[in-house]
């Protein structure tokens, strides 16, 4: 892996308000901004989305 100050081995998990489905939000972000967000897993599915801090993974960076 190339050395870069932007590459991290962590992620941010964002808890959505109860009235907003995280998977619907992720779909909207993908369609509108062409940006992929990770889904919530297990009991957090539909409640959380994840943002990876892995460095340049798309044309947005």
Considering the domain boundaries, does residue 5 fall inside one? Answer: no
Domain count, the chain: 1
User: Among residues 46, 59, 61, 45, which one has the least CA distance to residue 7?
Assistant: 61
Report yes or no on 30 lying in a domain.
Answer: yes
57 falls within a domain: no
Spatial distance between the Cα atoms of 31 and 29, rounded to a whole number of angstroms: 6
Q: Which domain holds residue 39?
A: 11-52
Q: Is residue 43 part of a domain?
A: yes
**Per-residue confidence at 20, pLDDT binned at 50, 70, 90?**
very high
pLDDT band at 30 (very low <50, low <70, confident <90, very high): very high
pLDDT band at 2 (very low <50, low <70, confident <90, very high): low
Share of the chain above pLDDT 70, in %: 77
């Amino acid at each position: 892996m190339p050395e870069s100050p932007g590459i991290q081995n962590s992620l941010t998990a964002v808890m959505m308000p109860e009235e907003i489905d995280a998977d619907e939000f992720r779909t909207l972000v993908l369609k509108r901004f062409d940006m992929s967000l990770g889904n919530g897993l297990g009991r957090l599915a539909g409640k959380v989305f994840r943002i990876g801090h892995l460095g340049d993974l798309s044309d947005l960076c």
